[in-house]
Amino acid sequence: MAQDLYRRPAPGQHPPHRVDAYKSTPGRSPRKPAVALPQTLSEITGPRLLGERLVVHGRVLDEDGKPVPKALVEIWQCNAAGRYHHPGDQHDAPLDPNFYGGGRARADDEGAYQFVTIKPGAYPWKNHHNAWRPAHIHFSLFGPAFATRLITQMYFPNDPLLAFDPIYNSVPEGARSRLQASFDLEATRPEWALAYRFDIVLRGRNAIPMEDEHG
């Protein structure tokens, strides 16, 4: 018999099905041992996200280049076909049942964050005739204060749709490119995922403290 692809857990690692002190378990635990099943394709295959795997990472900084430690970073995006897992999205593109499209992470002490996701597709949005959003990932950030709150979108370099997108082009020309991630060969995972880097700069602090503090 061929060897199983996945190791079987050694005894004593998972809890038993029945633990009487947890009173819901006696009525919800099989009594007979599970039948030992040699692994087949049915066991060694499973659902995978559709699309091009990406590592999206970067740092949350302030305008002085200082990291924003422990910044909360939230993202949401459509799937590889350009469809959001959202009842309001009526675009005629397939939903990926394994891709929800939302993520949340806290940056580390150096402000560094990382997500593993798939590359979002472009999607039409009816703003004008034949309007397509360039591929993008929505980002929501809390810096240290109410004043530093930011919601934005990350775009991909060299996307031909950028030139035609009124949302991307709403940003003054000199600042627009800050919304483009950069391809990051160093962070790619060979044989597995491409990588993009997106650093986010939140409002910095003035050097001078407020004129007087009360209380």
Site of interaction with another protein (CB under 8 A): 59, 61, 63, 65, 74-76, 78, 84-86, 88-89, 100-104, 138, 140, 145-147, 149-153, 167-168, 170-172, 175-182, 197-203, 210-215
In whole angstroms, the minimum distance from the beta carbon of 50 to another protein comes to: 18
Question: CB within 8 A of 144, min separation 6: which ones?
Answer: 68
Choosing from 57, 59, 83, 133, the catalytic residue is: 133
Closest to another protein by CB, 9 or 172: 172
What does the alpha-carbon distance between residue 63 and residue 111 come to, in Å, rounded to a whole number? Answer: 13
> Is 189 assigned a catalytic role?
no
Closest to another protein by CB, 109 or 191: 109
> Is 17 assigned a catalytic role?
no
In whole angstroms, the minimum distance from the beta carbon of 196 to another protein comes to: 11
Choosing from 57, 59, 83, 136, the catalytic residue is: 136
**How is residue 160 written in tokens?**
């031909």
What does the alpha-carbon distance between residue 94 and residue 108 come to, in Å, rounded to a whole number? Answer: 35
Closest to another protein by CB, 25 or 204: 204
CA 181 to chain centroid: 14
Closest to another protein by CB, 25 or 51: 51
> Is 196 assigned a catalytic role?
no
CA distances from 5 to 37, 46, 83 (A): 12, 13, 35
In whole angstroms, the minimum distance from the beta carbon of 130 to another protein comes to: 19
Choosing from 53, 85, 91, 138, the catalytic residue is: 138
> Is 214 assigned a catalytic role?
no
Q: Which of 154, 123, 127, 160 is nearest to 140 (CA)?
A: 154
Closest to another protein by CB, 105 or 194: 105
> Is 138 assigned a catalytic role?
yes
Choosing from 123, 155, 168, 196, the catalytic residue is: 123
CA distances from 131 to 122, 123, 165 (A): 10, 8, 8
Q: Which residues are catalytic?
A: 84, 123, 133, 136, 138
